[in-house]
Amino acid sequence: MSEAVEAPVEALEAIAAFRLPTKADFLLQRLMAKNTEGGLTSSEREELEALVELSEAISLLRAKALRALQRCPA
């Protein structure tokens, strides 16, 4: 069940602009490359999975904020 929630435009804009922090994004890219090569340790795999989940959650929140603002992702 979906509920409509009113939010200030500024809050939606902040959510729409949010990105994975630079260091976390760099680590995610490095782990994905290492995974492609088949060289991840079990702890690196866990870290990769957690970063992917975080990145997906951020993307979903951004998409919802952009939809509420009636904008397309950049």
d(C-alpha 40, C-alpha 73), whole Å: 32
Q: What is the pLDDT of residue 44?
A: 97
Q: Are 65 and 17 in contact (CB under 8 A)?
A: no
Each domain of the chain, given as residue ranges in start order, spans 9-69
Contacts of 36 (CB under 8 A, 6+ apart): none
- The average pLDDT across 36-60 equals 96
The model's pLDDT over 26-45, given as tens digits with 9 standing for 90+, comes to: 999 999 999 999 999 999 99
Whole-model pTM over 0.75: yes
Q: What is the pLDDT of residue 14?
A: 93
1 has a pLDDT exceeding 60: no
Q: What is the pLDDT of residue 9?
A: 86
Q: How many CB atoms lie within 10 A of CB 16?
A: 19
